[in-house]
Amino acid sequence: MAKITGNYEVVYIIDPNQGEEAVAATVEKFKTLAEQHGSDVEVDEWGKRRLAYAIDYKTEGYYVLMSFTSNPAFPKELDRVLGITDGILRSMIVCKDE
């Protein structure tokens, strides 16, 4: 039998050169998206940190960890949206249940 829901974590890195308001709006956008499609949404903003290696010639990123519970289809959609959102340097979604 297929699992109805799973516990997921996503870490994404926002380009901090967009400014504080744009960073806050991006964090809020993904929090809202997760709340619409899942539950138990928790956002932990790690803040601006030095990247391990330059991404598009950028050496700093604004790190955000978000955990949520949802059906297995939502993380695929979230990954797609993260991929097409301006200012997202990198993202990774993992299922904590596996």
- Mean pLDDT across the stretch 56-66? 96
Domain locations in the chain? Answer: 6-90
Q: Per-residue confidence at 3, pLDDT binned at 50, 70, 90?
A: low
**pLDDT band of 4, cuts 50, 70, 90:** confident
8 Å CB contact between 6 and 95: yes
pTM of the model: 0.92
Mean pLDDT, the chain, rounded, equals: 93
- Per-residue pLDDT band at 1 (split at 50, 70, 90): very low
Q: What percent of the chain has pLDDT over 70?
A: 96
Neighbouring C-beta atoms of residue 96, cutoff 10 Å: 10
98/27 Cα distance (integer angstroms): 26
Q: Does the 6-90 domain belong in CATH 3.30.1360.120? A: no
